[in-house]
A = this chain, B = another copy of it.
Amino acid sequence: MINSHLQKLRRRHDISTAEEAAIRDSISDVRKVRADEVVARAGDLLSECTLLVEGWLARVKDLRSGVRQFTELHVPGDFADLHSFTLKRLEHDVVSLTPCTIATVPHERMRELTETFPHLGRVYWFSTNLDAAIHREWTVCMARRSAMARVAHLLCEMCVRLDIVGRVQDRSFDFPLTQTDLAECLGLTSVHVNRTLQELRKRKLISLENRRATILEPDALHEVAEFDPAYLYLEAEPL
């Protein structure tokens, strides 16, 4: 159930069997949600964190004009709102992009967990800091990169993150976002996302059809995206 989560943690840190047991023990309930549901609403007082078991979630901020901007995508193994443990209320929604299976960990339990295992506290602190590093990279993308580079960059990021939890086979992975979703990630219009994808396909850098993406030319795609995975902290130091 939370194997992807442990995979993600262990990709970067040592987790003892006692810690693993405590984590497994902290899951309070597991449920399914449909696509396009709000899992956590901006402004609500939250009392638990949401661990994504299967499917895709996104953090979304709404603008007055009605357009939405995603600030992060989540894949299996991710906590979508671990930061709610300290913030208590979020300033963004968490929504499901696909049907999802989610587990929850009450804040109370998270508190026991981090007090009993300070090391685990630091591991989870790291995890929210990793989210922040992803935010920084997205800020740079939105501020400075062309549409082409942004699309390419997102595909590179998701490929690395999905690979960590065993969702990539031979540079190919399920990618359920519509072009409208992509536009909301990338700060573009869906029309322009469409044209940009066509160009990437024409250059034979990627294929993307039937909700499945394949990176055909990793080096060339990284080049276009100016992608450097350092911000994903694949080599973490012991905590």
Contact = CB atoms under 8 A, between A and B. Distances in A.
A147 to B, nearest CB: 12
A71 B128 contact: no
A231 B91 contact: yes
B186 A143 contact: yes
Interface residues of A, number: 51
A126 B84 CA distance: 9
Interface stretch (A14-22, A117-125, A168-176, A208-216): A117-125
A141 to B, nearest CB: 8
A54 interface: no
A126 B64 CA distance: 27
A115 interface: yes
A94 to B, nearest CB: 12
Contact of A125 (B61, B63, B86, B135): B86
Nearest to A68: B144
Interface centre among A45, A126, A143, by most chain B C-beta atoms within 10 angstroms, is A143
Interface in A124-157: 125-126, 128-133, 135-140, 142-144
23 contacts: A45-B237, A59-B136, A61-B136, A61-B137, A63-B140, A67-B144, A69-B140, A69-B143, A83-B133, A86-B129, A86-B239, A87-B126, A91-B136, A91-B137, A91-B230, A114-B118, A115-B118, A125-B125, A125-B128, A132-B132, A135-B139, A138-B139, A143-B186
